Amino acid sequence: MKLIGENIHIISKNTKTAIENKDKNYIFNYINKMLEANVNYIDLNIGPARKALGSMKWLASVIREVSDIPISFDTTNCDEMRAGLEFVKNPQDCIINSISADKQRLDNFLPLAKEFQANLIALTLSDETGIPKEADARLEIAFNIIEQTTEYEIENNKIFFDPLVLPVSVAQEQVLESLNAIRMFKESFEPPVLTTIGLSNISNGAPKGNRSLINIVFMVLAMGCGLDSAIVDSFDKELLRVHKVIQTQNPETSYDNLYLQLYCMMQNFAELEEIKYDAKDSQQIAIYKTAQILLNKNIYSHNYL
């Protein structure tokens, strides 16, 4: 599974200020930390970029001083998106983040995807429906998007469908729908499409001390459903370590076997109750309880651990 580093994001007040002021040292520090984490893409989230025009090209230029790593250009500003794609030498390896089923987004970004042969993250929502509650409805939106991408001769293997993960703390019943949607996306298209998620969304609103564990367990479950990529906190060393364990199928700790069991459980459509773990190991208990919450076996509360 590919990792997209989320850490350059204007939702952070400090990062937003650094982008507006073109603080190269601040951005360099973040880029180098993400490169050390061995992510596959760096996401540059500048939002609508109404004030800081020229931000995308500037950020891309800072990255290119140290690496040719593919970039996920994350903005609703079509001009900024074009500026980033025009600047890099490998736009075909980069990602346009993101389109949805809304006509304006499709009209703005599909021509860019075709022109630059870039990859696309496609959100399964529209202005009319919002984020559908059921996986079937998200799949229907995905089919509608594919109709449009096919007209532009954009190949399926360039499209990452995002089922839009909602926080377990506010929409617990939707967690399973997101996992089911990933499976459906992987099974329903020929040639196959790719899948992605904004991983940190699952733990929004949860206590800070629980967020990493919630993210990690959900990542493992989603990988078992066939997830191809995720936008992640690339500074979370434990998350990166567990990702490597699942990728290599090589446990490093006493509790990694539990993660591997959860991964295989999702692959094989098995039941959580079949999982074996050490009930005397506090870390394994926490992982298992988190899986119970995410699979809607127990009711979420901030103190579920």
Per-residue pLDDT of the chain (305 residues; tens, 9 = 90+): 999 999 999 999 999 999 999 999 999 999 999 999 999 999 999 999 877 789 999 999 999 999 999 999 999 999 999 999 999 999 999 999 999 999 999 999 999 999 999 999 999 999 888 999 999 999 999 999 999 999 999 999 999 999 999 999 999 999 999 999 999 999 999 999 999 999 999 999 999 999 999 999 999 999 999 999 999 999 999 999 999 999 999 999 999 999 999 999 999 999 999 999 999 999 999 999 999 999 999 999 999 99
Starting at the edge strand found earlier in the chain, the sheet holding 2-9 runs 194-195, 159-162, 119-123, 95-99, 71-75, 41-47, 2-9, 229-232
User: In 3D, which of 189, 238, 171, 200 has the Cα closest to residue 12?
Assistant: 200
Instruction: Name, in order, each residue with C-beta under 8 angstroms of 69's C-beta and a sequence gap of 6 or more.
Output: 35, 39, 40, 41, 42, 63
Question: Angle 103-116/78-87 helices, nearest 10 degrees?
Answer: 10
Residue 205: both structure tokens together:
């609103």
Contact 139, 129 (CB under 8 A): no
Q: Tokens 């370590």 map to which residue?
A: 241
Query: Is-contact 117 96, C-beta < 8 A?
Result: no
> Residue 114, Cβ neighbours under 10 Å: how many?
15
Q: For residue 222, what are the contacts with CB-CB under 8 A and spacing of at least 6?
A: 178, 179, 182, 197, 230, 266
Give the pLDDT confidence score for residue 184 in this predicted structure: 98
- pLDDT at position 51, please? 72
d(CA 146, CA 132): 17
Residue 165: name the closest of 189, 120, 196 by CA. Answer: 196
What local confidence, expressed as pLDDT, does residue 158 receive? 98
Task: Specify the pLDDT at position 53.
Answer: 83
Q: What are the tokens at 210?
A: 């629980």
- Over the range 225-260, which residues count as b (16 or more CB within 10 Å of their CB) and which as e? bbbbbbbbbbebeebbebbebbeeeeeeeebbebbb
pLDDT at res. 269: 97
Q: How many CB atoms lie within 10 A of CB 135?
A: 21
Question: The whole model's pTM is what?
Answer: 0.97
Q: Amino acid identity, residue 254?
A: S
